């Protein structure tokens, strides 16, 4: 956050003597001055959401500059509101989620940080474009934004060009122009004892190697199955076929915020409405009903979607605990071969 603020203030600080009121900010309908105020307004709004633990809507306030405040003063306000958001991000526990409308009505501290950085980079670009100033955002900051709140966007030749294209501000060879867009915070599905937290491409990259994906795991986790699944998620992202709600979820205990396993889909539903689910638990979390509880929630969420008619799972015939999980979750045997048993679950209305 601090780096993005420094970029914004550094680039625009060189042109505070110019007319910001009478110049349109790039492709926006706002003037450069209005856009600068918008940056500050979003930064303080995001900080307020986290600090106030708002869950139902936005805190009802907005920011304005004092009469007579100049362009340099607007940048001072951006610096201050950016510092407040950075402080809110640092001091908010990882498990806290606050209201944001797109697309699943909440975001965690990492999501708000990524949205704040996006506001800074993109609107600095808009103002600079309006004033005829050359600006190219830091590639690492752009990658931070793309891999957290643009999980549906296939990486392009450079993170900055990809971010501009994904937000309707530029072109990429071989890709259609973007005329409407929204960023996407990760989906979280709650159960009595768990939260199923959608894995972003950034977390998947970390989990697929030797990292923890930003989660605090119980002893022994994450296990190999989780790392393999995370690698598949990142491969789908690189190929441009990742749809985050049909990806991987880490299972986090409500009581202590620690991750106990992972569960997710192998891909989007097929043309017949079938989607396959898989899961694993760290050994120390087995035998407590976590997998059954999570599977009921995730399969129920899937079957509520219009595009899903059947949730399927395949289990090695000798894996009795996994057979028991599927049976308790309401799945029925749909077929067998010498190595695996196929299970399926259909909605009760079918």
Residues 6+ apart with CB under 8 A from 191: 293, 294, 296, 297
Residues 6+ apart with CB under 8 A from 146: 153, 155, 159, 162, 163, 166, 201
The answer to whether the beta carbons of residues 121 and 10 sit under 8 Å apart is no
Q: Is the peptide bond before 141 cis (omega within 30 degrees of 0)?
A: no
Looking at the fold, whether 123 and 262 belong to one and the same domain comes out as: no
Where do the H-state alpha helices sit in 186-288?
201-207, 224-239
153 domain residue, yes or no: yes
Looking at the fold, whether 147 and 192 belong to one and the same domain comes out as: no
> Which CATH number characterizes residue 77's domain?
1.20.120.450
Number of domains, the chain? 2
179 domain residue, yes or no: no
Looking at the fold, whether 121 and 200 belong to one and the same domain comes out as: no
CB atoms within 10 A of CB 174: 6
Q: In this predicted structure, what is the pLDDT of residue 146?
A: 98
Looking at the fold, whether 287 and 237 belong to one and the same domain comes out as: yes
Looking at the fold, whether 194 and 278 belong to one and the same domain comes out as: yes
Q: In this predicted structure, what is the pLDDT of residue 350?
A: 45
Looking at the fold, whether 119 and 228 belong to one and the same domain comes out as: no
Looking at the fold, whether 146 and 272 belong to one and the same domain comes out as: no
Q: In this predicted structure, what is the pLDDT of residue 348?
A: 77
Domain of residue 18 covers 2-166
pLDDT in tens, 41-62: 999 999 999 999 999 999 999 9
171 domain residue, yes or no: no
Looking at the fold, whether 161 and 243 belong to one and the same domain comes out as: no
CA distance 346 to 176: 37
- CA separation (Å) from 33 to 124, 162, 177? 11, 26, 27
From 136, 166, 196, give the residue that closes a domain: 166
The answer to whether the beta carbons of residues 78 and 8 sit under 8 Å apart is yes
205 domain residue, yes or no: yes
Looking at the fold, whether 142 and 206 belong to one and the same domain comes out as: no
Looking at the fold, whether 199 and 246 belong to one and the same domain comes out as: yes
> Which CATH number characterizes residue 309's domain?
3.40.630.30
Looking at the fold, whether 200 and 161 belong to one and the same domain comes out as: no
- CA separation (Å) from 96 to 100, 112, 278? 13, 11, 27
From 166, 200, 235, give the residue that closes a domain: 166
Strands 274-281 and 310-316: parallel
CA distance 185 to 98: 11
Ranges of residues in the chain with a pLDDT under 70 are 349-350
177 domain residue, yes or no: no
pTM of the model: 0.94
Q: In this predicted structure, what is the pLDDT of residue 349?
A: 56
DSSP codes joined into one string, 141-183? HHHHHHHHH-TTSPP-SSHHHHHHHHTTS---TTSPPP-S---
CA distance 296 to 175: 39
Looking at the fold, whether 102 and 210 belong to one and the same domain comes out as: no
176 domain residue, yes or no: no
Q: In this predicted structure, what is the pLDDT of residue 74?
A: 98
Closest-CA residue to 38 (of 110, 156, 134, 123): 123
300 domain residue, yes or no: yes
Q: Is 94 helix (H, G, I), strand (E, B) or coil?
A: coil
182 domain residue, yes or no: no
pLDDT in tens, 68-101: 999 999 999 999 999 999 999 999 999 999 999 9
């Amino acid at each position: 956050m601090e780096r993005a603020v420094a970029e914004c203030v550094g680039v625009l600080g060189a042109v505070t003597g110019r007319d910001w009121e009478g110049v349109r900010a790039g492709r926006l309908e706002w003037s450069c001055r209005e856009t600068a105020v918008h940056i500050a307004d979003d930064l303080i709004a995001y900080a307020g959401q986290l600090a106030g633990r708002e869950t139902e809507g936005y805190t009802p306030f907005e920011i304005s500059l004092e009469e007579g405040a100049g362009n340099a003063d607007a940048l001072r306000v951006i610096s201050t509101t950016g510092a407040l958001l950075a402080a809110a991000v640092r001091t908010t526990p990882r498990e806290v989620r606050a209201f944001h409308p797109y697309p699943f009505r909440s975001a965690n501290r990492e999501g708000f940080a990524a949205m704040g950085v996006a506001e800074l980079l993109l609107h600095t670009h808009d103002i600079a474009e309006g004033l005829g100033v050359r600006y190219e955002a830091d590639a690492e900051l752009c990658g931070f934004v793309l891999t957290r709140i643009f999980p549906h966007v296939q990486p392009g030749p450079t993170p900055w060009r990809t971010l501009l294209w994904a937000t309707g501000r530029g072109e990429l060879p071989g890709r259609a122009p973007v005329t409407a867009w929204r960023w996407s915070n990760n989906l979280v599905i709650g159960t009595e004892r768990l939260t199923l937290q959608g894995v972003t491409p950034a977390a998947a990259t970390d989990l697929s190697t030797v990292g923890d994906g930003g989660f605090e795991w119980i002893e022994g986790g994450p296990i190999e199955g989780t790392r393999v699944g995370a690698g598949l998620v990142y491969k789908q992202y690189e190929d441009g076929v990742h749809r985050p709600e049909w990806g991987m979820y880490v299972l986090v205990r409500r009581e202590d915020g620690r991750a106990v396993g992972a569960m997710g889909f192998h891909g989007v539903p097929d043309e017949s409405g079938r989607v396959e689910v898989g899961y694993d638990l760290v050994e120390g979390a087995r035998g407590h009903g976590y997998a059954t509880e999570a599977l009921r929630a995730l399969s129920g969420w899937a079957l509520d979607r219009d595009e899903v008619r059947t949730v399927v799972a395949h289990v090695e015939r000798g894996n009795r605990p996994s057979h028991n999980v599927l049976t308790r979750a309401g799945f029925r045997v749909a077929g067998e071969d010498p190595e695996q048993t196929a299970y399926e679950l259909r909605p009760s209305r079918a």
